[in-house]
């Protein structure tokens, strides 16, 4: 891997991990178009660390609230932690039982393209239908256990490549009567435990296999790029959804899915 590859793939991963456009779709398409080899285990581990840094930096206040709640037994912080635990359980179970099978059999262009297009239509329908009136949850303190579990189930569905974790969890949040921006915030906050767990697994695998020789610089560039672009993507989307719909991302997903089918076929 070259420095240019590490930097570009880190930027792409950081942006597409948090924007509702599917990181797997981009990481399948871009290397193939440019003739690059698979980025490998070391890069996957570094990327997970980069996106985790972005989430921790953005949600430092909420994480501090959880820490204080545990130390001082304050109800708000402990309740927020409980919501995150409940929301993480579905993806944890599915990932443990079927994670390897999903990676082995579903990480194909046709599956990614189908998920991009299919979930784009669902996102548009839900976004349109929930935008009409009604009281919406606009603060994390208002999120209930049922909403957390519903978003958690969506996070498990997002293990299918092309679905987009942020896209499907934001949609689930909207279905449970969260406002768009709040659905995005809770989606990203809920992503911290699963990202940390996935990163830990990748890091342990990397320790067993060892890092490739001579790739320190590309990996560091990828780490910094993923953290910086990831933080920017989280900030942008939360701000954007305060006054805009998901239509822009729906259109982008439809176009990307079509391009993948045209260029890579039904593999």
SS3 of 137, please?
strand
**φ and ψ of 129, to 5 deg:** -70, -30
Confidence band of 96 (pLDDT split at 50, 70, 90): confident
Return the percentage of the chain with pLDDT > 90, whole number. 49
Specify whether the backbone of 13 is left (phi greater than 0), alpha (psi in -120 to 50) or beta. Answer: alpha
CB 90 within 8 A of CB 149: yes
Q: Which two tokens stand for residue 43?
A: 């890069």
pLDDT at position 210 is: 67
* Of 215 and 181, more confident: 181
**φ and ψ of 53, to 5 deg:** -60, -40
Specify whether the backbone of 19 is left (phi greater than 0), alpha (psi in -120 to 50) or beta. Answer: beta
Number of H helices, E strands in the chain: 11, 0
pTM of the predicted model as reported, rounded to 2 decimal places: 0.91
pLDDT at position 123 is: 96
* pLDDT mean over 111-127: 94
Q: From residue 50, how far is each of 6, 12, 125, 173 by CA, in Å?
A: 12, 12, 33, 25
* pLDDT mean over 62-89: 87
pLDDT tens, 27-39?
777 877 788 776 6
Confidence band of 148 (pLDDT split at 50, 70, 90): very high
* Residue boundaries of the structural domains of the chain: 3-264
* pLDDT mean over 70-75: 77
Which are the contacts of 101, defined by CB distance < 8 A and separation ≥ 6?
Answer: none
Please determine, for residue 207, whether its predicted confidence score (pLDDT) is greater than 80: no
Measured from the Cβ of residue 201, the count of other Cβ atoms closer than 10 Å reads 16
Write out the DSSP string of 43-80: HHHHHHHHHHHHHHHHTHHHHHHHHHHHHH--HHHHHH
* pLDDT mean over 148-165: 93
pLDDT at position 71 is: 81
């Amino acid at each position: 891997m070259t420095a240019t590859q590490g930097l570009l793939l880190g930027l792409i991963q950081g942006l597409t991990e948090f924007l509702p456009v599917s990181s797997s779709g981009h990481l399948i398409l871009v290397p193939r178009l440019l003739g690059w080899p698979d980025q490998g285990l070391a890069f996957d581990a570094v990327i997970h660390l980069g996106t985790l840094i972005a989430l921790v930096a953005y949600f430092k206040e909420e994480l501090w609230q959880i820490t204080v709640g545990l130390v001082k037994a304050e109800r708000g912080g402990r309740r927020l932690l409980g919501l995150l635990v409940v929301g993480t359980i579905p993806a944890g179970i599915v990932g443990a039982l079927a994670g390897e099978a999903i990676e082995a059999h579903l990480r194909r262009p046709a599956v990614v393209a189908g998920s991009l297009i299919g979930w784009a239509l669902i996102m548009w329908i839900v976004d349109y239908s929930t935008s009409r009136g009604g009281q919406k949850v606009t603060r994390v303190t208002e999120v209930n256990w049922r909403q957390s579990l519903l978003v958690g189930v969506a996070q498990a569905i997002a293990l299918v490549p092309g679905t987009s974790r942020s896209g499907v969890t934001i949609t689930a949040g909207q279905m449970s009567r969260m406002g768009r921006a709040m659905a995005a915030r809770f989606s990203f906050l809920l992503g911290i435990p699963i990202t940390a767990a996935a990163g830990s697994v990748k890091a342990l695998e990397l320790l067993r296999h060892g890092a490739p020789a001579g790739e320190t610089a590309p990996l560091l560039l990828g780490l910094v790029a993923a953290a910086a672009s990831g933080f920017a993507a989280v900030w942008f989307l939360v701000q954007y959804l305060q006054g805009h719909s998901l239509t822009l991302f729906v259109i982008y997903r439809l176009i990307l899915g079509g391009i993948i089918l045209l260029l890579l076929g039904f593999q």
